[in-house]
Amino acid sequence: MLSEEEVLRDLTDRLTQQITDVDGYTKSVRGKKLRAELEKFARQMLEGDELWEYEWSATVGGRDCYEVGWCVVRDKRAVARLCAYFS
């Protein structure tokens, strides 16, 4: 099993879209709980951090897995993630 640090390093290569208007974007997220989680997640960002969407897929234990969510990117490296969906 991968450590969180290894997962974050891997996600850096799977960033799909930078979110430049964090407040506007979070307001567009459907679902009160997910929106609240994203707002809380974004509050940890420091000046200069970026918020990105990510998409990850792999075969784990013979099963196809898929995950989407958001990453905080600092100095061109993912430092935190919030999973929105996993299968």
- Domain tally for the chain? 1
Angstrom distance (rounded) from CA 37 to CA 17: 19
Burial grade of 63 (CB within 10 A; 0-12, 13-18, 19 or more) = exposed
| CB 77 within 8 Å of CB 9 | yes
* Confidence label for 1 from pLDDT (cuts 50, 70 and 90): low
12: containing domain: 4-86
Q: What are the φ and ψ backbone dihedral angles of 53, each rounded to 5 degrees?
A: -85, 150
Q: List the Cα angle 68/72/10 in 5-degree steps.
A: 60
DSSP state of 71: E
Provide the whole-model pTM. Answer: 0.86
Residue range 6-43, pLDDT digits in tens? 888 888 889 999 999 999 999 999 999 999 999 999 99
